[in-house]
Structure 1
């Protein structure tokens, strides 16, 4: 069995303690069938010194949840891993830039459709009021550019008080009603090949589709237009990606990119028809 490293959350952060072990177990089961053993190790153990990872032929950061709460240390770790030339998949340089959603603006500059977005260095009542005036939206979504799992993400109507607003740079978008009706569609790619798709919808009255907020998930065959957009996103990124989760929804009649998750996405292997064999095959190919 070939042993690889899988980065896991900071042990001092209990936020995901009840969730990530199950995700790691699904990953480990899929990998074991391909002759690969996953050895978990907290990403926070390797920030200043990459020596503890040097012996592994491959390092997957796919359970490094919570990095967004300690972004400065995450960026320091990425610099350490880049300088050490470690065999990360996805590359450590990707782990750095993909941790800040400002990358969506760069993809938009390359022609990838995203929701109308206002980028702001900070958020206060005046900024939100101006955003309502500029967009004409009846509701806005405000979130930090460094975020995860709907952390400090707000849905606001005109006149709503800012409660626990984003700190630092933020993005403001009109709320897309399709989130409640059609949901968000995630397309999973391993080794550049499409694997499976999952539709995620919030519970009634909410807008957050994450499982910790009761999000409802189901496997689907993605519409052809969604697959075309996902492949367009990957072409625009043009990096040697082992895995990618491309999240999108409809804005009116058009598909738009919500996020390209390239660091620690849940692959939803429980909904993959092959149980994760495509993921394991991509890992084995990278090792080979």
Structure 2
């Protein structure tokens, strides 16, 4: 049995206490099929000293939920792990830049289609009013560039007061109404190979597709255009990735847009994976034996 480390939330953060143990159990079960035992350990216990992590042949940061609430420490930790030569997947450098959605701007500069976006620091009422005028839309979404699970995300209508806006860098985008009708589609890749796709839809009247807000998930066969966009995104990233979840949605004209490339702690939707994570486990085994 090969023993690796699997990073979990900060014990001082109770936000996910009722959720992450079940995710850990599913991950440990699929890894065990390849003779891999995953030791659960909070990422915050290794943010200042990488010695224990460096002793493992592989570290998986798959349940570091809540890092966005302590982002400066997260960035410092990923830099420390990179300098210490910790074998972590995805690479520590990727874990750093992927934690700030400003990476979408860089991917857009490489030709990856994303939703029209205004990048603002601590967006004000004036910023939002200007974005309404610029996009000629009846709804906007404002979200922090460092966030997870719809954290501090606002959906606004013209004339609506901007209350509890993100205090730092944020994205202002036209609201994609297709989220309510077509949902968001996620494509999962393990070891560079496509595994499965899941379509996620919000409850009526909401825009948040996460399960904690009532979102429903369905395994789907991705359209060719979805696969083409995912492959374009992965080619634009061009870094060694053990896993990737590429989230996308269509605009009103049917053109697929990248929503996020989740490369840190994405939910793999193993309940929707026909192999229940066997493909991921094989990719981990291949990395261990490479």
TM range (shorter): over 0.9
- Partners in 1 of 2:113 and 2:65 — Cα distance? 27
- Contact conserved, 2:121 with 2:167, CA < 8 A, in 1? no
Shift of 1:48: 1.1
SS in 1 for 2:150: coil
> Contact 2:54–2:85 at 8 Å: present in 1 too?
no
* Residue 163 (structure 1) shift: 2.6
Distance 2:100 2:28 in 1: 28
How far off is 1:159 after superposition? 1.4
Query: Please, which runs of 5 or more residues in structure 1 have no aligned partner?
Result: none
Q: Secondary structure at the match of 1:76?
A: helix
- Separation (CA, whole Å) in 2 of partners of 1:229 and 1:172: 22
State the alpha-carbon separation in 2 of the partners of residues 219 and 169 from structure 1: 34
Listed one character per residue, the Cα deviations across residues 16-55 of structure 1 (whole Å, up to 9, x for unaligned) are: 1111111111111100001001111000001111012121
Shift of 1:65: 0.5
User: Match of 1:216?
Assistant: 216
Q: Which runs of 5+ in 2 are unaligned?
A: none
Alignment-derived partner of residue 14 in structure 1 = 14
Aligned to 2:175: 175
- Please give the TM-score of this superposition, normalised by the length of structure 1: 0.99
User: 1:268: which partner in 2?
Assistant: 269
Tell me the residue number matched to 2:282. 281
Q: Distance in 1 between matches of 2:79 and 2:277?
A: 31
Offset of 1:157 from its aligned partner?
Answer: 0.4
3-state secondary structure, aligned to 1:18: coil
Give the SS at the match of 1:264: coil
Aligned to 1:195: 195
Structure 2 residue 184 is matched with structure 1 residue 184: yes
- The alignment's C-alpha RMSD in Å is 0.6
- Paired with 2:286 and 2:189, the residues of 1 have a C-alpha distance of 14
1:130-180 per-residue CA deviation (whole Å, 9 max, x = no partner) reads 110111111000000000000000000011122321110000110001100
Could you report, residue by residue, the CA deviation over 1:226-251 in whole angstroms, capped at 9, with x for unpaired residues? Answer: 01100110000000000000000001
Give the length in aligned residue pairs: 288
- State TM-score, norm by structure 2: 0.98
